[in-house]
Amino acid sequence: MLSNAVLKAIQERRSVFRFKPDAVDQEKIDAIIEAGRWAPSFVNSQPWSIIVVKDKETKRKLRELAITITGIGIEESPVTLVVAVETQKDPHHYVEDGAAATQNMALAAHSLGLSSFWVGVYDSSGARASSEEKTKALLNIPNNYRIISMLPIGVAAITYQKDRNPSSEFVHHDKFGAKS
């Protein structure tokens, strides 16, 4: 199988929910954000805005709003990046655009010796009382934006390995169900 730095980073990156209290250099945060900036987006709309959250009280509130058992990582992380996308720039593809930016940043964090995990707060129903809406209010995010993810970043306090399903279980050739 072919191997290079990008493929290696993709294969080795894991979601890490617990972080050491070590600070993350601003240079690394900037590099991670730069990776998000270079994510693909539909017709190069680049609809994302990234909120860099370092304030302990704000991270504590984000943890409370995240409907996940891994929320403690938000509070422990030295920095949490919140990816919001402007829906009017591309009303049909903003979710994919924000997801691509999030993935780029997660891979960049890993390549810089840091860890992260994807916290999903996007509510496809757009409900007013959702975690997404409460998070938008907390961070002063305008109504024409949607939050795609929160990405806590830091030095891993724990590491582990997980396997993936073999490609033979999900790859089809020419038509769904056609195995090679």
Give the span between the Cα atoms of 19 and 68, in whole angstroms: 16
Query: Residue 8 has what pLDDT?
Result: 86
Query: Residue 68 has what pLDDT?
Result: 63
Query: Residue 34 has what pLDDT?
Result: 98
Q: Looking at per-residue confidence, does 100 or 66 come out higher?
A: 100
Arch. (CATH architecture) of 14-157: 3-Layer(aba) Sandwich (3.40)
Whose tokens are 């993935």? That residue is 103
Segment 5-32 mean pLDDT: 91
What digits encode the pLDDT tens for the residues 108-145? Answer: 999 999 999 999 887 777 666 688 899 999 999 999 99
Q: Average per-residue pLDDT in the chain?
A: 90
What digits encode the pLDDT tens for the residues 49-84? Answer: 999 999 999 999 999 888 665 667 898 999 999 999
Query: Residue 126 has what pLDDT?
Result: 67
CB environment 81-105: b (16+ within 10 A), e (fewer): bbbbbbbebbeebbebbbbbbbbbb
Domain chopping of the chain, boundaries = 14-157
Give the span between the Cα atoms of 178 and 98, in whole angstroms: 32
Give the span between the Cα atoms of 148 and 96, in whole angstroms: 9
